Amino acid sequence: MLIYRIYVGNSLRNYNYVIACDKTKDAAIIDPLDVNACIDIANKNNLNITKILNTHEHWDHIEGNDEVVKLTGAKIYAHYNCKDKIDNIYKTLKEGDIINIGESIQITCLDTPGHTFGHICFLANYKNKMALFSGDTLFNAGAGNCYSGDMELLYKSFTDKLAHLCDDVLIYPGHDYLENNLNFTLSIEPNNTEAKKLLEKIKQEKPNNRVITSLFIEKQINSFFRLNSEEIKRNLVEKFKTKFENLSKEQVFFKLRELRNKW
């Protein structure tokens, strides 16, 4: 599996992805925004763009759809709840649907609502190596907002779906928010040594060569996976000036997301 990560460089810090079968050179673009960059990569590597995979319906993840279709004839795949929000969908997707790219890449669709009600994460499997294209559900060291969705559904997407994937799954999010998210982690869990080490490391990086984390790493640095942390719980109680004890995992998640909204 060939994965090309494109940092758009806009104010939203989007990532686009081109993934390709190394045997057939058939390829898909995930959430096209910088169409020129995506097509340029395809041309330079003799790739045949056959599919567009949209994680969800927000404009910065679908803006390039029409132009890519015009240039390549690619078919658009998106969540079934996006059928009235994304134009010209070729196939609507649900939990467990399989998408094949060429001969070697099999993608499993994970229904991960919360950021929106029509969000799909794409789990690509190639020779026992797995990559998760997580859109705006899971960011490096963070979680998506719920302004267009539902916080309880996002919590369930994390705890019922993402947390149960293999630890060696590589994470490819829709935006580069890693530095800011690590600072958020340390604001609520200041003794997180792994977050401190990674924050120091990425100061030498630029977004287009950003470290690629695994789910194992995310469970160490991402507060939205660390819902049992006693340090996080103590700081939440202090920040919200509450007296509640024995915080549930769901309450911890909600309070973390509430804090992150203002970060």
Long-range contacts, stretch 7-13, CB < 8 angstroms, 24+ apart: 7/176, 7/207, 7/208, 7/210, 8/33, 8/34, 8/37, 9/207, 10/60, 12/60, 12/175, 13/175, 13/176, 13/177, 13/207
Catalytic choice (31, 34, 56, 111): 56
Q: What are phi and psi of 60, to 5 degrees?
A: -75, 0
Catalytic choice (26, 34, 136, 176): 136
Instruction: Please confirm, yes or no, whether 119 is among the known catalytic residues.
Output: no
Q: How many CA atoms lie within 13 A of 123 on its CB side?
A: 21
Task: For residue 80, count CB atoms less than 10 angstroms from its CB and return exposed for 0-12, middle for 13-18, buried for 19 or more.
Answer: middle
Catalytic choice (26, 61, 79, 111): 61
Catalytic choice (26, 31, 34, 60): 60
Catalytic choice (26, 79, 175, 176): 175
Instruction: Please confirm, yes or no, whether 175 is among the known catalytic residues.
Output: yes
Instruction: Please confirm, yes or no, whether 136 is among the known catalytic residues.
Output: yes
- Both tokens of 62, joined, read 């679908």
Instruction: Please confirm, yes or no, whether 58 is among the known catalytic residues.
Output: yes
Catalytic choice (58, 79, 111, 176): 58
Task: Count helices and strands (H / E) in the chain.
Answer: 9, 13
Instruction: Please confirm, yes or no, whether 168 is among the known catalytic residues.
Output: no
Buried b (16+ CB within 10 A) or exposed e, 191-229: ebeebeebbeebeeeebeebeebbbebbebbbbbbbbeb
Catalytic choice (79, 111, 115, 176): 115
Which residues are marked as active site?
56, 58, 60-61, 115, 136, 175
